[in-house]
Structure 1
Amino acid sequence: MTEPEDGVKPAPDVEALEQEGEIAADYLEGLLDIADIDGDIDMDVEGDRAVVSIVDIKGGDLAGPSGEVLEALQELTRLAVHRQTGERSRLMLDVGRFRERRRVELTKIGSAAANDVKRSGEPKALQPMTPFERKIVHDAVAAAGLRSESEGEEPRRFVVVLPA
């Protein structure tokens, strides 16, 4: 979708996003049943994307040590939504509040990197991260008054914090 010439983004279609969340929840409930894992599913709309969370999970680790299982599960869920709607989904999936905890951790990493760059005056490259993780770091660096950019190719793409 391209932005209109006036630069104003159209309001998100909340009804369509809620439908994405419902499709995703049904898909995930089926997966949890197959895997014999208990968990509750919460759905919400944040900005321009549906957000589905598996909470109170019992009987399995669906995030993985570094979130790699969560990323794969999110991609499968997006594909399930696409199959039913015909539209590409930007759905965000969280499991056991993994992303919430990771967001706090990444904000600290971004802020610390910005402070290091302010002190040294030298650019600082961080470890490779997922698009979700890079976005949070970019936001933290911007909040600290510096700028950053992503470099490299997936899956080894990383953030570089630049001096003012």
Structure 2
Amino acid sequence: MKESIEIRSKSKEDAISQAIEELKVSEKDLQIETVQEPTKGFLGFIGAKEGLYRFKVIKTESDIAKEFVENILKNSNVEAKVNVTQDNNLIKVDIEGKEAACLIGRRGETLDSIQFLTGLALNKINKDSHMRVLVDIENYRSKREESLIRYANKAAREVARTKKIKKLDYMNPYERRIIHSALQNDKYVTTYSEGTDPYRRLVIEYKR
């Protein structure tokens, strides 16, 4: 899809209409620059010159995120579809395609790296951006969340039974939040984190 175009026209309004039709966007998504104003000429038509207008599609942060992830897939020779949605200040990037599973990595480490780099790409374009990015592949994160909640509940039952502290595996902040949330109302155990990323882990302790 074209991202910019120059149009010669008798009026700016006509040029905008042409740009909207050719670039397949709405006027609010266009950056418009008047390169040369039109002239009416002698008697309104003799020697009249059309104006020259330059149009550029304004990329939203969602567009940037989608394009960035698509480039990663292309460079990795992975066939997959990228769907992007925005919910308030959260941009969700969903990658669909069995081939894309190779980009999840061990316990989602590669996926987390893609998510981190996508966030950096947005900040590079707009340093004042308050957008967060969540990248997922074939619903891996929801499946991982379900697995972590089961793991958390099993560990909590063990701690409640033995009354001994249990230190879980190293996890990223996203995964630790899931377990904290799952056990925050448990009447037998409490949770806290210790260590420094990437070697930060969650601890489950019996309530005395």
| TM-score bracket for this pair, using the shorter chain length | 0.7 to 0.9
**Alpha-carbon distance between aligned partners in 1 of 2:64 and 2:190, rounded to the nearest angstrom:** 38
Residue 57 of structure 1 and its aligned partner are, at CA, apart by 4.1
Unpaired segments ≥5 residues, structure 2: 1-59
Matches of 2:110 and 2:190 in 1, distance apart?
Answer: 31
Change (3 A) 1:119 1:72: same
**1:70 lines up with 2:111 in the alignment:** yes
Query: Which of 99, 102, 120 is 2:162 aligned to?
Result: 120
Higher strand share: 2
Read off the aligned partner of 1:160 and give its amino acid letter.
Answer: V
Question: Partner residue of 2:56?
Answer: none
1:23 and 2:64 aligned: yes
Describe the SS at the equivalent of 1:61: helix
The Cα RMSD (Å) is 2.0
Distance 2:80 2:185 in 1: 35
**SS state at 1:67 partner:** helix
Question: Could you say what secondary structure the match of 2:80 adopts?
Answer: strand
The amino acid of 2:174's aligned partner reads: F
My pick for the range that moved more, 39-48 or 27-36, is 39-48
Q: Match of 1:136?
A: 178
- Alpha-carbon distance, 1:67 to partner: 1.4
Instruction: Indicate if the aligned counterparts of 2:101 and 2:137 stay in contact, CA closer than 8 A.
Output: no
Q: How many residues align?
A: 146
Normalised by the length of structure 1, the TM-score is: 0.78
Paired position in structure 1 for 2:94: 53
Q: Distance in 1 between matches of 2:115 and 2:159?
A: 34
Instruction: Provide the TM-score with structure 2 as the length reference.
Output: 0.63
5+ unaligned residues in a row in structure 1: which ranges? 1-18
Between the aligned partners of 2:110 and 2:180, the Cα distance in structure 1 is 24
1:90 and 1:139 map into 2 onto residues whose CA distance is 20
Identity %: 28
The structural deviation recorded for 1:46 is 5.1
For residue 149 of structure 1, what is the aligned residue in structure 2? 192
For the 8 Å contact 2:89–2:131, the answer to whether it is kept is: no
CA contact (8 A) 1:37 1:57 kept: no
Which structure would you say has the larger RCO, counting Cα contacts within 8 Å and 6 or more residues apart?
A: 1
Greater Rg by CA: 2
Query: Are the equivalent residues in 1 in contact too, given 2:191–2:204 (CA < 8 A)?
Result: yes
Shift of 1:88: 5.5
Q: Is 88-97 or 103-112 further displaced after alignment?
A: 88-97
How far off is 1:66 after superposition? 2.2
2:120 corresponds to which residue?
79
CA distance in 2, matches of 1:39, 1:133: 25
